[in-house]
Structure 1
Amino acid sequence: MEATERYADVDGYRMRYLRAGDGGPPVLLLHGGLIDAAHLSWGGVIDPLAERCRVFAPDLLGYGDSDSPDVAYSTKRHVAVVESFMDAVGIDRASLVGLSVGGGVALGLALRSPERVDRLVAVASYGLGRELPNGRLTYALSRLPALNRLSIAALRRSRRLTKASLGGIVSDPNALPSEVVDEVYRLVQQPNAGRAYRSWRRHEVGSSGFRTDYRTRLGEVDAPTWFVHGREDEVFPPRWSYRAAERMDAECWLVSDAGHWVPRERPDEFAERLIDFLD
């Protein structure tokens, strides 16, 4: 079932989302940060999921083809905007599936408004640890947004370089479908590409580590939860998901030969397991 592109007015901003599936429970898919959008991270998952569920996949505020206002893009803001998005499209309660930054947003919403979350899936999720991937270097880079702008400017000039850059989030960039690389290359051409992520990083990265850490509150999550993490993830360490699952007595799928982008690296298997969990 092919997804349709729609737009919603959310807190005065225009947000693009993909809608698929006519029956079953609602599922909300939340993508990651840096350069991302709903169709980019979830394009291999939406169709099989829509056979069993009503799927809603928004471009987060500041990403994809949603509005990109000059605001502070903290995790807390994303949580509030996503809840307002649910109101705008008429969802009272849904299962949340969040990847990376989107995983932190899903966790935050499950803690803020537990009555609105049926089931929770956190994929290579933010919010489960404080340690920075490259220590003080990550903090220094978070305070030098010009370097990120220069990196994106370089990617705009070269599809080959754009593809190579994906080696930071997948185990094998050559295994990605060409249309996925093409879409990343299209998104980096956008005038505000990377701005929301730079703002998020400035608010979320402190000198002593990541500022949002839900570990001490995981016991407050009421929804049945499933953690997924690629064993070769270089963005957030797989041990984050494993220890969170242990703390919550939840399931954790550590995916071999996969990095940070499991829904794109293993879309068929991920979709099958996701549907089993939601059922």
Structure 2
Amino acid sequence: MATVEVDGHDIRYAEAGEGPPLLLLHGGIIDAGPVSWGDVIEPLSERFTVYAPDMLGYGDSDVPDVDYTIDRHVRTMAGFCDELGIESPSVCGLSLGGAVALGLALDTDVEVSHLVPTSCFGLGTELPRGTLSWALSRLPFLNRIAVALFRRSRGFTKASLAGIVHDTDGLSADCVDAVWEYARKPNACVAFRNFRKHEMTRDGYVTNFAPRLGELDVPTLFVHGRHDEVVPVELAERAAPRAPTAELTVLERCAHWPPREQPDRMVELLTEFCVGTDT
């Protein structure tokens, strides 16, 4: 693990391996580089130089008093690449990180070589539970109660992951331990609660890259779990044909967390797509 300063804030990140650069961007709620990518960093480092940052407000990175919008995360990750001199990276983003990855490719000077939006947020405006989702986003104390329960019980932590995985029994012990560890950090869910406040309206999500997918000029692979209830697979199925050079891989027996549910398959997909099997 190392730290780099971006726009006056410390960003903590893991770096491993040698080879073409691969930037892994985690999701929201209680997440960080080691939480979502813990099973894949080491095997991917055999073919890539892997960078797995804790995005601003998450994990062991700084938690400044700012608005945690997609645009904020995009600018911070662009600065991260600039500060470390990361050139032409492949970028794989999970959920919230998928939208950040799209923003890097569409709205910054980062020359993304390959793009892998995974369980990607930002492909539509529909809230998963309609106005109920919006109403819950306006009741942050409910999230604080949930985080308090996470902190008290590893068993509750594992059970709660049923909301994002197809089979909690298939998760490694290290995975559950990582979530539980990061849930006990003082900043757990602070950035995500702020994100929901800015991202959700009565009419739906603010961020929607779907109308702009035709602007993508980078090879793109959408990866999505068949049983994803957070971001329905139908959004990825509609998105892939809109991007000029996009493909879609749907993972069976998988929900919203492919890097932890099917880490071997994710390593295989990233390696084949970003460097090829004959490299």
TM-score by length of 2: 0.96
Any idea what the Cα deviations from partners look like across 1:60-84, whole Å, max 9, x if unmatched?
A: 0111111111211000000000001
How much has 1:93 moved relative to structure 2? 2.3
Q: Deviations over 1:177-199 (max 9, x none)?
A: 11111111111111121000001
- 1:92 deviates by 3.0
Q: Is residue 229 from structure 1 mapped to residue 224 from structure 2 by the alignment?
A: yes
40, 63, 73: which one aligns with 2:35? 40
Aligned to 1:150: 145
Task: Please tell me whether the aligned partners of residues 26 and 97 of structure 2 are also in contact (alpha carbons under 8 angstroms).
Answer: yes
Q: Which residue of 2 aligns with 1:92?
A: 87
In 1, Cα distance between equivalents of 2:2 and 2:255: 31
Q: Which residue of 1 aligns with 2:192?
A: 197
Distance in 2, matches of 1:115 and 1:267, equals 27
Q: Do structure 1's residue 276 and structure 2's residue 272 form an aligned pair?
A: yes
CA distance in 2, matches of 1:115, 1:46: 22
Greater shift in the superposed pair: 76-85 or 186-195: 186-195
* Whole-Å separation in 1 of the counterparts to 2:251 and 2:128: 19
Within 5 Å, which residues of 2 pair with 1:68-107?
A: 68-107=63-102
Shift in alpha-carbon separation, 1:195–1:115, aligned structure 2, 3 A: closer
> Are 2:44 and 2:267, in contact at CA under 8 Å, matched by a contact in 1?
yes
Partner residue in 1 for 2:104: 109
Task: In structure 2, give the amino acid aligned to 1:266.
Answer: Q
Matches within 5 A, 1:245-260: 245-249=240-244, 250-260=246-256
Q: Distance in 1 between matches of 2:133 and 2:85?
A: 39
1:247-268: CA deviations, max 9, x gaps? Answer: 1252111111001001110001
* Counterpart-to-counterpart distance in 2, 1:11 and 1:151: 32
Aligned to 1:122: 117
Q: Distance in 2 between matches of 1:50 and 1:82?
A: 20
Supply the AA of the counterpart residue of 2:121.
Y
Q: Which residue of 1 aligns with 2:212?
A: 217
2:12·2:54 contact (CA, 8 Å) conserved in 1?
A: yes
Structure 1, gaps ≥5 residues long: none
Asked whether the 8 Å contact 2:93–2:100 carries over to 1, the reply is yes
Match for residue 25 of structure 1 among 17, 20, 23: 20
Deviations 1:77-122 (A, max 9, x none): 0000000111111113211100000000000111112652111000
Paired residues for 1:153-192 under 5 Å? 153-192=148-187
Percent identical among aligned pairs is: 52
SS in 2 for 1:222: coil
Match in the other structure for 2:51: 56
In structure 2, runs of 5+ residues without a counterpart are: none
State the TM-score, normalized to the length of structure 1: 0.96
Q: Distance in 2 between matches of 1:227 and 1:54?
A: 22
1-structure distance, mates of 2:253, 2:89: 31
Tell me, yes or no, if the aligned pair for 1:33 and 1:197 is still in contact at 8 Å. yes
1:144-170, Cα deviation, whole Å (9 max, x unpaired) = 111111111121111111110000010
Give the match's secondary structure for 1:117: coil
4+ aligned runs moved over 4 Å, structure 1 = none
Look up the match of 1:8. 4
Report the CA distance shift for 1:115/1:195 in structure 2 as closer, same or farther (over 3 A): closer
Please tell me whether the aligned partners of residues 93 and 101 of structure 2 are also in contact (alpha carbons under 8 angstroms): yes
Deviation at 1:40, TM superposition (A): 1.2
**How many angstroms apart in 2 are the aligned matches of 1:52 and 1:171?**
29
